[in-house]
Amino acid sequence: GAVVSQHPSRVICKSGTSVKIECRSLDFQATTMFWYRQFPKQSLMLMATSNEGSKATYEQGVEKDKFLINHASLTLSTLTVTSAHPEDSSFYICSARQGAEAFFGQGTRLTVV
């Protein structure tokens, strides 16, 4: 089946720095990808829809200047957490759809210290 790969799987960064997370569709093209965030013992929260070649669409309450999304090719979307703070520590997950089925990356656990 289709595979979506995320990198890195874990990252620890200092408060105030920026972190980039990559999401790749390995064997299919994805004009749209989705970014989610998940806090411990909570459900996934949709942050934004990443559109190839155009601006991302952010969900209400998600700061677009803090969570920069770039979807420069049909197989790669990146999420950059800018000026990270400890409250940004979370599990970030991307997904891409192929037909009716969504494929999810393995997630990136971000810890801001």
Partner 1 sequence: DAKTTQPNSMESNEEEPVHLPCNHSTISGTDYIHWYRQLPSQGPEYVIHGLTSNVNNRMASLAIAEDRKSSTLILHRATLRDAAVYYCILSLTQGGSEKLVFGKGTKLTVNP
Q: Which is nearer to partner 1, 14 or 101 (CB)?
A: 101
Q: Cβ 96 to partner 1, closest distance in Å?
A: 11
Q: Which is nearer to partner 1, 83 or 102 (CB)?
A: 102
The helix (run of H) or strand (run of E) holding residue 103 is: strand 101-104
Q: Cβ 11 to partner 1, closest distance in Å?
A: 14
Distance of CA 17 to the CA centre of its chain: 17
How far is the C-alpha of 34 from the C-alpha of 84, rounded, in Å? 20
Residues 6+ apart with CB under 8 A from 1: 101, 103
Residues 6+ apart with CB under 8 A from 83: 16, 17, 18, 66
Q: Which is nearer to partner 1, 43 or 86 (CB)?
A: 43
Q: Cβ 20 to partner 1, closest distance in Å?
A: 18
Q: Which chain residues interact with partner 1 by CB under 8 A?
A: 4, 6, 32, 34, 36, 43-46, 49, 51, 57, 91, 93, 95, 97, 100-107, 109
